[in-house]
Amino acid sequence: MSTFIEAWQMVLAPDVLIAILLSAIYGLVVGSLPGLSATMATALLVPVTFYLSPIAAIATIITASAMAIFSGDIPGCLLRIPGTPASAAYTDEAYAMTRKGQPELALGICLWFSALGGVFGTLSLIIMAPLLAEFALSFSTFEYFWLAFLGLMCATVVARSSPVKAIAAMLLGLLIACVGIENPAGTPRFTFGSTDLLGGIEVIPALVGCFAVAEVMRAMSVPEPPQLERRKFGSILAGQWKLTKEYPKQQARGNIVGIIIGVLPGAGADMAAWVSYAMAKRFSKTPEKFGTGHPEGLIEAGASNNASLASGWVPSLLFGIPGDTITAIAIGVLYMKGLNPGPTLFTEKASSMYALYIIFMLGNIIMIPLGIIMIRLATFILRAKRYMIMPVIVLLCAVGSFATGNNLFLVITVAAFGVVGYLMEKNGFPVAALVLGIVMGSMVEQHFITSLIKSDGSLLPFFARPVSAVLAAITIGLMVWPLAVWLYKKRPQGRAAAI
Amino acid sequence: MQISNRLTGIGLAVLGAAAAYGGSLLPPVPGQQVGPNVFPMVIGIGLVLCGIAIAIGVGSSFEEPEQVVAAEDGSHVPAGQEAPVPHAALKTVVPPLLLLFYAFTVDHLGFIPTAAVMVAATCFALGGTWRSALILALCAPPAVHLVFAKLLRVPLPPGLLPMPW
Amino acid sequence: MTELSRRHLMAGAAGLGLASQLASPAIAQTFPVRPITLVVPWGAGGGTDATARIVGSIMEREFGQPVNVVNRTGGSGVVGHSAIATGAADGYTIGMITVEITMMHWQGLTQLKHDSYTPLALMNEDPPGVQVSASSPYTDLKSLADAIRANPGRLKASGTGQGGIWHLALVGWLGAMGLPPSAVPWVPSNGAAPAMQDLAAGGIDIVTCSVPEAKAMLDAGRARSLAIMASARNPQFPNVPTLKEAIGVDYSVGAWRGIAAPKNLPAPIAERFTTVLKKINESKEFTDFMAARGFGVKWADGAGFAKFMAEGDAAMGVAMKAAGLARQA
């Protein structure tokens, strides 16, 4: 108990509280700017943490990343430009709600269920950390292969277009992921002798180009859409409690899926959001409503990506193995501050551990009031003229993508993906599937090839290991299921024709 | 710019074939049963199949015509029926061209002038008045510079107009 | 430095009879007059980034001018390394170069080599350990080495990507034992952390990565470190023997980090840097920081660093050709 009180004392120190508040605001602002992601928000904090006390340093990372994942939903909702890859899965849905005149409901869902997801994720971290870590450690490349494969299949479920075009867009993403030397063979592929292409094409500039630049391009060729009627913006939290009661299953599933995916090293909030949105659609009683501004998918995916954020810390804290790109940076900060990850963190530095838990909880709780203020401010852009907003977005695209690697080639990449994204959108190819392909591409290949090396070329372990077998069964089942349904539907007619 | 399904399908198939061919040229790696050539080839072949399917119209029945939400109540209007924008095709390529302009000139001109040109050009292309373009060009670049260069320590080139901070 | 010795130095420079060098010490006296940029070719939050930032923050105090640490990522380190090499040789652009500079040119990824820079100081080196899972039957390096000899190709190892530094450490170690690289096939991974996780998951048998990278898993009792590929034991892990102590094989290698400037940096400025870097290297703040992260502190001045890189470069060439990783020129 004394350690618990000690932990509170650590958190309630003025410098920590100020750090939490400032980094919360910072996370909200950076996450909401198109072109800046949650990972980047964290990376840009590293130099700042250098001058902070250990608890304050970790507090800034925890708070800023949680806020940025939520506020990445804001530009998605208002401008159809996702702020982070984790929001890309359900951007169209949220935007559709805004155009239906329910921006406060859409943003409220994102805020409320993000906060709840974050709280559940933290609880899982507190209660089940050793158990979850055990689970994460049982995953080898065979299991990861199936997981990545499952993630890719979400492309066809999520898209509201021809499945053939969704698959084509996903394959294009996979092909883009092939570029560079970061492949299992360490061989430069499709680099055409360019040094800049050697490192491959990163997700952030692709995302920024496909969504933000393409959106500005679209704005160029269509007249300004009618302004939303001037009226008092409704209450943001009103109705959230009703939705919580109406969709308990979706919410619980989002939390659980988020926690499981988050805990697995290498699979983070992006994948959690995709899988959860796809699951919500597949298990929904009204899948046809998805994509037209329906809250179900938003609830599940919004809860999922924030839940995964907290559970991503489990392997990081216990074994120093990052759960995602954000915790990869956080681990560096932990080391820098002498809070070396490992079981000793839980025994010798128990008060610091409790302090981290408290910060997680605090972060997710203050997300609600700060988020409301942020949403109120952000909705001004719904009233602003397009020609005042879009120029700033173009500028942010350039600066934001440059800042991810301080490399001007990234700006060229953004321009190229703007054109690609625009052309795809105009011709009915889902852009989100392309982003999914880029995110998951290297994972599928890496785990497939390394698995084969380990098994000396045998495919058997892909099905023989217990967890792997279960994942394989789910994957193959999901692939065969639509085919079976289609055949079943065809059968009576066929029989009727035969008789 | 809407392209016929036949053309996009063929385009994808050609791209897939090129990827598969390019992949097949990659040398194998000692100690790996599956070399760096396999994935591009699998993806390339997949793209060829998808391209052909799109060209002959498989799956097009699932597609919904592009819709633009036109009114507050959420009613939809089919795309292409709004009032046309003058020089739409020309304006569409403005954003990517401005990004290229930024990439190639920012090191010479510096951040503030380059950003001002970008902002003003986008504003003007979207139908803003000269006045609003000018105001935006004067205000937005220093604000962005303050946040990124000062607070986030992103090294933006000073160029012709270094900022006092 | 006293006034006398400085005058002495200037007289020495003048004695060389090069008029151009006369002006340089004057520059070096006032250097630096504006902020310095310290380029890091790897991303924020990593080990290189952390080392560069601590060096930068102490340097800032020593010079009384801001030192801006800039992460220039991309191209698997090539972009950042070439940004350092192509910067203006005026002392205001320096960078932290890493072991990859002695590897990338063998793979034909870049023309840049260790001699494309003015080396200023070597700051750190981390030798790899040989880690096995806690549930592994091998409790010492000798039994592991015997198992490799008895069944070549059965045990698999990982730790980084194909052709990465830890891959070459393994190849070099096998070579020193007289075994071909195929005796232990390499499973590429996205770095040391995922490899350690796969080790615990039972996917692979050996991980050759630096001991600090494996520390958390070692502390958790999930893995065992059997030996390190260095000439002396790591004081933080006194129970882990060297290769030589364990099986009598004399082989050492390591991932290192050093500070370098663009080629042709004026000698007085280079000396100024090396003096300051030496002070940093010996400062309590730096050594404490490195000890906390488990990183090894190493020192070599400009000339020593140049020699160190040249030797490392030749050794890498041999190992990479043996592993079939070097591009046949």
Write down the pLDDT at residue C14.
Answer: 41
Residues of C in contact with A198 (CB under 8 A): 74-76, 78-79, 109
Mean pLDDT of A365-373: 91
Please write the tens of the pLDDT for every residue from A172-183. 999 999 998 878
- What is the C-alpha separation between C309 and C295, in angstroms, rounded? 19
pLDDT of residue B68: 45
DSSP C167: H
pLDDT (0 to 100) of residue C72: 87
Report whether pLDDT(B102) > 80: yes
pLDDT band at A232 (very low <50, low <70, confident <90, very high): low
CATH 3.40.190.150 residue ranges of chain C are 34-126+255-322
Q: What is the residue range of A111's domain?
A: 2-223+239-454
Q: What is the mean pLDDT of residues A324-348?
A: 80
Interface test with B, best of C37, C38, C40, C162 (most B CBs within 10 A): C162
Measured between CB atoms, which of A164, A216, A225 is closest to B59?
A164
| A467 within some domain | no
Better pLDDT: A497 or A176: A176
Q: What's the pLDDT score for residue C325?
A: 80
| Chain A, chain B: beta-carbon pairs less than 8 Å apart | 240
Q: What is the mean pLDDT of chain A?
A: 84
Nearest beta carbon to residue A342 from set C153, C202, C220: C220
- Give the tokens for residue C115: 């001699």
In this model, does residue C124 exceed pLDDT 60?
yes
pLDDT in tens, A462-490: 888 888 898 898 888 877 776 777 677 66
Cβ distance B10 to B55 under 8 Å?
yes
Mean pLDDT of C93-108: 91
pLDDT band at A378 (very low <50, low <70, confident <90, very high): confident
Q: Is the pLDDT of residue A495 over 80?
A: no
Q: Decide if C35 touches A, using CB distance below 8 A.
A: no
User: Distance between CA atoms of A218 and C263, rounded to whole angstroms?
Assistant: 48
For tokens 């190709």, the residue is: C153
pLDDT at C32 over 80: yes
Q: Which of C37, C162, C182 sits opposite B29 (nearest CB)?
A: C162
Given a cut of 90, is residue B83 above it in pLDDT? no
Chain C residues touching residue B153 (CB < 8 angstroms): 68
Instruction: Tell me the pLDDT band of C158, cut-offs 50, 70 and 90.
Output: very high
Say if A297 falls within a structural domain.
yes
> Which of C186, C203, C219 is closest, CB to CB, to A344?
C219
Which chain B residues are Cβ-neighbours of A217 within 8 angstroms?
92-96
Kindly state whether residue A466 falls inside one of the protein's structural domains: no
CA distance A35 to chain B (A): 13
Residue A266: name the closest of A393, A438, A147, A376 by CA.
A147
Interface test with A, best of B45, B47, B114, B126 (most A CBs within 10 A): B126
Which pLDDT score is estimated for C3? 40
Question: What is the overall mean pLDDT for chain B?
Answer: 82
Q: Chain C partners of A186 at a C-beta cutoff of 8 Å?
A: 107, 161-164, 188, 325
Q: Residue B27: pLDDT above 90?
A: no
- Mean pLDDT for the stretch of residues A6-33: 89
pLDDT band for C205, please (50, 70, 90 cuts): very high
Residue A232 placed within a domain: no
3-state SS, chain A, equals: CHHHHHHHHHHCCHHHHHHHHHHHHHHHHHHHCCCCCHHHHHHHHHHHHCCCCHHHHHHHHHHHHHHHHHHCHHHHHHHCCCCCHHHHHHHHHHHHHHHCCCHHHHHHHHHHHHHHHHHHHHHHHHHHHHHHHHHHHCCCHHHHHHHHHHHHHHHHHHCCCCHHHHHHHHHHHHHHHHCECCCCCCCCECCCCCHHHHCCCCHHHHHHHHHHHHHHHHHHHCCCCCCCCCCCCCCCCCCHHHHHHHCHHHHHHHHHHHHHHHHCCCCCHHHHHHHHHHHHHHHCCCHHHCCCCCHHHHHHHHHHHHHHHHHCHHHHHHHCCCCCHHHHHHHHHHHHCCCCCCHHHHHCCHHHHHHHHHHHHHHHHHHHHHHHHHHHHHCHHHHCCHHHHHHHHHHHHHHHHHHHHCCCHHHHHHHHHHHHHHHHHHCCCCHHHHHHHHHHHHHHHHHHHHHHHHCCCCCCHHHHCHHHHHHHHHHHHHHHHHHHHHHHHHHHHHHHHHC
User: How many domains does chain A divide into?
Assistant: 1
Which positions in chain A touch C197 (Cβ < 8 Å)? 136-137, 139, 265, 315, 319, 321
Q: Which of the four pLDDT bands, split at 50, 70 and 90, describes residue A440? A: confident
Please report whether residue A459 resides in a domain: no
Does C133 reach chain A within 8 Å, measured CB to CB? no
Residue A233: per-residue pLDDT: 63
- pLDDT for the residue A159: 66
Going by pLDDT thresholds of 50, 70 and 90, the confidence category of residue C111 is confident
Question: Which helix (H) or strand (E) element contains residue C69?
Answer: strand C67-71
**Residue A335 near chain C (CB below 8 Å):** yes
pLDDT tier at A316, thresholds 50, 70, 90: confident
Per-residue pLDDT at C34 exceeds 80? yes
- The answer to whether C140 and C146 have CB atoms below 8 angstroms apart is no
Using the Cβ of A389 and the Cβ atoms of chain C, whether some distance falls under 8 Å is answered with no
Enter the tokens of residue B129: 């008045």
Using a pLDDT cut of 70, give the percent of chain A over it: 94
Q: Looking at chain C, which residues constitute the CATH 3.40.190.10 domain(s)?
A: 128-247
**Per-residue pLDDT reduced to its tens digit, B125-150:** 988 888 999 999 999 999 999 988 88
Q: For all residues of chain C together, what is the average pLDDT?
A: 86
Dihedral (Cα; A74, A77, A83, A88), 10-degree rounding: 140
- Highest-scoring range by mean pLDDT, A34-43, A61-70, A478-487, C39-48: A61-70
Q: Say how far apart CA B39 and CA A148 lie, in whole Å.
A: 15
Q: How far is C291 from chain A (nearest CA, A)?
A: 10
- Residue B85, pLDDT > 60, answer yes
Summarize pLDDT for C258-301 with one digit per residue, the tens: 999 999 999 999 999 999 999 999 999 999 888 888 888 999 99
If you average pLDDT over residues C299-313, what whole number do you get?
Answer: 93
Q: What is the mean pLDDT of residues A252-260?
A: 90
- The stretch A184-196 carries a mean pLDDT of 83
Predicted pLDDT at C8:
46
CATH topology for the C128-247 domain: D-Maltodextrin-Binding Protein; domain 2 (3.40.190)
Q: pLDDT tens across A82-141, in order?
A: 877 788 888 888 988 888 888 888 888 989 998 999 999 999 888 888 888 888 878 888
Residues A281, A290 contacting (CB under 8 angstroms): yes
Whether C17 has a pLDDT exceeding 60, the answer reads: no
pLDDT reported for residue C92: 92
* Inter-chain residue contact C162 with A185, CB threshold 8 Å: yes
Report percent pLDDT > 90 for chain A: 17
Most confident of A96-105, A121-130, A301-310, B95-104: B95-104
> Which residue did the predictor score with more confidence, A159 or C113?
C113
| Cβ contact, residue pair B30, C68, below 8 Å | no
In this complex, do B100 and A412 lie within 8 Å of one another by their Cβ atoms?
yes
At A228, the pLDDT band (50, 70, 90 cuts) reads low
Give, in words, the CATH class of C34-126+255-322.
Answer: alpha beta
